[in-house]
């Protein structure tokens, strides 16, 4: 049963991870590992740099985020990511649809028989 639960969680995370990343970028720019740490504070959203960097690359290619290199006080320069206007619009659209979808799912899974 645990393997099934892990697979279910992984599938749900895949469908929402990019919007969680966009949400983390909504208020401030961040670098990749900072995003990994930001996601890790919520149970079920733990991910790795191996997942985040390809996602960030795709978000950049899709025009939802942009990036700049900045010097780091503790090591090599870091690539910082921030939302574009298109990224903000995509995040807002997701928030609206997510509420509707979440409420619909809750209607079914929270029913008592």
Per-residue model confidence (pLDDT) at position 112: 66
Q: What is the DSSP string of the chain?
A: -HHHHHHHHHHHHHHHHHHHHHHHTTTS-EEHHHHHHHHHTSTT----HHHHHHHHHHHHHTTSEEEEEEEETTEEEEEEEEE-HHHHHHHHHHHHHHHHHHHHHHHHHT---
Q: Where are the domains of the chain?
A: 2-109
- Going by CATH, does the domain composed of 2-109 fall within 3.40.50.2300? no
Please list the pLDDT of the chain residue by residue as tens digits (113 residues): 556 887 877 788 788 999 999 999 999 999 999 999 999 998 778 788 888 999 999 999 999 999 999 998 888 999 999 999 999 999 999 999 999 999 999 999 887 65
């Amino acid at each position: 049963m645990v393997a099934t639960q892990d697979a279910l969680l992984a599938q749900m995370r895949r469908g929402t991870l990019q919007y969680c990343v966009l949400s983390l970028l909504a208020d401030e720019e961040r670098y990749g590992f900072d995003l990994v740490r930001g996601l890790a504070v919520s149970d079920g959203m733990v991910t790795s740099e191996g997942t985040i960097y390809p996602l960030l690359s795709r978000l950049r290619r899709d025009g939802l985020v942009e990036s700049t290199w900045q010097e780091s006080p503790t090591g090599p320069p870091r690539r910082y990511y921030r939302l574009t206007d298109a990224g903000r619009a995509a995040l807002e659209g997701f928030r609206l649809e997510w509420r509707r979808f979440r409420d619909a799912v809750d209607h079914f899974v929270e029913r008592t028989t």
